[in-house]
Amino acid sequence: MDRIRAVFIDRDGTINQEKEYVSRIEDFQLIPGSLEALKLLTQHGVKIYIITNQAGIAKGYFTEEQFHRLTEYMIRNFESEGIKIENILYCPHHPDGVIPEYTGDCLCRKPNNKLIQDVVEENHLRVDEVALIGDKNTDIEAGSRLRMKTYLVETGYGAEEKKRTNATFVKKDLLGAVVHLLNSERKAEKDLNEL
């Protein structure tokens, strides 16, 4: 097994509490353990990409500028904790949108995976070097289509979604998923060393 070099993590319901269309700083609340999970990934040199569908932009609930303001707040908080985020990948589109430039089908909205595929190709990553963590089966499908290891977390929508998931693993939360991912990697390295 090759070392995990990058992880794609959903935002709402995985990193922060799921609330309908989170767009205001005061509504952004981290799920317990998320900060520790992201710190662990940073400490182990794993690149973190946050990937999020933001249909609220297409539906007119908030603007792209509001999304960027919240994103900047989130990144500042993470940086103050020593967490490095490589990039925020987001899709502002939705077929049922009311803002014309964001309305319609696209290749970037999960379960489609153009945003992930672009990062994988640009960074010359192999599927066995990446993993995806999310609370919805649309997240899982985006990773599965590229044959990468996937984790469904039971936060957000995950408790319901786990009843019919194809995720490689189901874990209680982001911290549980990250600990499992890193421990699996260490065990694989140990097994290889013992050959």
Q: Supply the residues annotated as catalytic.
A: 10, 12
3-state class of 163 per DSSP?
Answer: helix
If DSSP codes are grouped into helix, strand and coil, which group holds residue 169?
strand
> Alpha-carbon distance 170 to 113, whole Å?
21
Residue 76 burial by Cβ neighbours in a 10 Å radius (0-12, 13-18, 19+) = exposed
Three-point CA angle 106, 170, 82, nearest 5°: 75
Taking the C-alpha atoms of residue 30 and residue 16, their distance in angstroms, rounded to an integer, is: 4
Tokens for 188?
A: 């694989």
SS (HEC) of 116-139: HHHHHHHCCCCHHHEEEEECCHHH
Give me the helices (H) in the chain, please: 34-43, 55-58, 64-80, 114-122, 137-144, 158-161, 174-193
